[in-house]
Amino acid sequence: MNDLSVRQEAEPAAVANPPAVGDSPASLTGLLVPLADRTLLLPNVAVAELIPYRAPQAQPGLPAWYLGQVAWRDLRLPLLSFEAASNGHAQIGHGARVIVLNALGGRPHVKFLALLAQGIPRSCKVGPELARADLELAPLELAAVKIGDDVARIPDLVALEQKLADLGLL
């Protein structure tokens, strides 16, 4: 028996047992994003880039959660305060950063949004053992979860994008 025949015999077993559709990895990489009054948990793939805070080009007469437009890679992105959009207050602290998010709303002309953060996000592994935290959720929050000793909120990014669309800003 030569090496080729051994490989050919081994291949059918691998093909006969492909991973099932819907199987998920044991863990995913998430980002803990510090805000002024809470921490958000975002999937790593939702974030396109973290950039230094840049004062947005404000537009009068718009809600407090819409901070204006910020320049990024030859684009003008809407900069949002998640805290203000979910019944809190917009705050721009000393360590403020801008997180460029991949848009999730399915609008072909909207690829990115910008979110105000109050520091540098931390990477974390999130597995199936992620425990829910029994807390009251604010608007635009899907869940609260425990990550170690911390509590993080899972934001509804599609609903946040829809708020922009409802105002005609997309």
The string of pLDDT tens digits covering residues 104-139 is 878 878 899 999 999 999 999 988 888 899 999 999
The strands making up 66-72's β-sheet, listed across from edge to edge, are 47-52, 97-102, 112-117, 75-80, 66-72
What's the length of the chain?
Answer: 170
Q: Tell me if the pTM is above 0.85.
A: no
Give the dihedral of Cα atoms 130, 116, 118, 141; nearest 10 deg: -30
Tell whether domain 29-166 is in CATH 2.40.50.180.
yes
- Please check whether residue 144 is in contact with residue 137, taking contact to mean a CB–CB distance below 8 angstroms: yes
- Other Cβ atoms less than 10 A from the Cβ of 115: the count is 26
pLDDT, position 117: 97
pLDDT digits (tens, 9 = 90+) for 6-31: 333 333 333 334 334 444 557 888 99
* Torsion, CA 82, CA 126, CA 128, CA 158, rounded to 10: 30
Please tell me the predicted confidence (pLDDT) of residue 153.
97
Taking CA atoms, 38 is separated from 99, 103, 123, 152, in Å, by 16, 22, 16, 7
Compute the Cα dihedral for 87, 67, 151, 133 and give only its sign.
Answer: positive
Q: Where are the domains of the chain?
A: 29-166
pLDDT digits (tens, 9 = 90+) for 54-100: 899 888 899 999 999 999 999 999 999 999 999 889 889 899 999 99
Determine the Cα–Cα distance for residues 43 and 100; give it in Å rounded to an integer.
13
What is the overall mean pLDDT for the chain? 84
Distance (Å, rounded) from C-alpha 91 to C-alpha 77?
A: 19
Q: C-alpha distances in angstroms, 145 versus 8, 22, 81, 119? A: 47, 23, 21, 20
| CB-neighbour burial class of residue 85 (10 A; exposed 0-12, middle 13-18, buried 19+) | buried
